[in-house]
Structure 1
Amino acid sequence: MERFTISLDEALANGFDHLIRARGYTSRSEAVRDLIRKEIEGDRLSQGEAPHCVATLSYVYNHHERRLAERLTTSQHHAHDMVVSSTHVHLDHEQCLETLFLKGATHLVRAFAEQTCAERGVRHGALNLIPVELNEAEHQHVHVSPRT
């Protein structure tokens, strides 16, 4: 473990302490580590240096929209190697929230998410990507591990 010192003015330090308490951190160190991880991985994603990922894609849609549910399901079946799981929630008599758990090549996951969110009747789409490394396992399958 490497240590470094950082100096903050009192207002910034107080604001940071308030933030980390609100988020449930027990130490400044763990909060700073998480902030650094988030920035490093965000930079890797934006630079195209994260070839593989796990992700969630959440979106709201009106299930009364003509054939939309069928189109979404068909799209998920075509991407069966990428779509690990889905969760479907009925928000009211018309609106549904769906969250898909995805894994695969980052550019393909992004393309699938963009295609899904572009479907007429889909609203409020949000993609959360987490870069991973692929590790060949001894038992004929691949493990995925967060990068940092």
Structure 2
Amino acid sequence: MQRVTITLDDDLMKAIDERVATHGYQGRSEAIRDLARAGLLESKREREMSGSCIATLVYVYDHAARELTRRLANIFHDHHELSHTTLHVHLDHDSCMEISVLKGDVQSVRGLTERVIAERGVRHGKVFMVPTETRVETHSHGEHGHHGHAVPHEHLHVKSGG
């Protein structure tokens, strides 16, 4: 086993100490190892996902950070085909949260989300991906949909087991 020295801010250290106390760990090292393993496993699952997906990207950023809002807008404009909608929330005088709904191939969505989260001034970021597939189905919508004629069109379906 190797010994590693890391620097953590007070709030993070407090959260780790609370986890140690509430989960019955023998010490901080054991808790940090478990958290690291869980994070790496989740990251591996996300990297192994392929095909298409629908995703949410939630991030909190410093709205006063130099040119950050312009850089974020440019990133989303560069990937406009992936973005369906974004909710913008003012949290306090310094922080905003955005929740973006994205849809596309996993690699493109991952690339966009990693770019946003890595921007200087983005304080927190998390993506949640759901694997999907598109199927063409033939049916009519509603009582008067297409005058009762069945029309083939695409539907998004969540892949089972994903």
Normalised by the size of structure 2, how large is the TM-score?
A: 0.59
State the distance in 2 between where 1:140 and 1:79 align: 28
Structure 2 letter corresponding to 1:110: R
**Which residue number in structure 1 is paired with residue 67 of structure 2?**
67
CA distance 1:45–1:136, change in 2 (3 Å): farther
Q: 2:157 aligns with which of 123, 145, 148?
A: 145
State the distance in 1 between where 2:97 and 2:49 align: 31
Q: Secondary structure at the match of 1:144?
A: strand
Number of paired residues?
A: 107
**Which residue number in structure 2 is paired with residue 58 of structure 1?**
58
State the distance in 2 between where 1:99 and 1:66 align: 21
Is the 8 Å Cα contact of residues 82 and 103 (structure 1) preserved in structure 2? yes
CA-atom RMSD in angstroms:
2.3
Is the 8 Å Cα contact of residues 63 and 69 (structure 1) preserved in structure 2? yes
* 1:75-90 mapped onto 2 (5 Å cutoff): 75-90=75-90
Structure 2 unaligned runs (5+)?
Answer: 1-41, 139-150
State the distance in 1 between where 2:97 and 2:119 align: 14
Is the 8 Å Cα contact of residues 89 and 98 (structure 2) preserved in structure 1? yes
> Aligned-pair distance for 1:135?
1.5
State the distance in 1 between where 2:80 and 2:50 align: 21
Structure 2 letter corresponding to 1:85: T
**Which residue number in structure 2 is paired with residue 3 of structure 1?**
none
Question: Which of structures 1 and 2 has the bigger CA Rg?
Answer: 2
CA distance 1:105–1:66, change in 2 (3 Å): same
State the distance in 2 between where 1:140 and 1:82 align: 24
**Which residue number in structure 1 is paired with residue 96 of structure 2?**
96
CA distance 1:67–1:47, change in 2 (3 Å): closer
Tell me if 1:136 matches 2:148. Answer: no
Bigger relative CO (Cα 8 Å, ≥ 6 apart)? 1
Structure 2 letter corresponding to 1:126: K
Residues 19-39 of structure 1, C-alpha deviations (whole Å, 9 max, x = no match): xxxxxxxxxxxxxxxxxxxxx
> Aligned-pair distance for 1:144?
1.2
Is the 8 Å Cα contact of residues 50 and 107 (structure 2) preserved in structure 1? no
> Aligned-pair distance for 1:78?
1.2
Structure 1 unaligned runs (5+)?
Answer: 1-41
State the distance in 1 between where 2:122 and 2:152 align: 38
Normalised by the size of structure 1, how large is the TM-score?
A: 0.65
CA distance 1:97–1:46, change in 2 (3 Å): closer
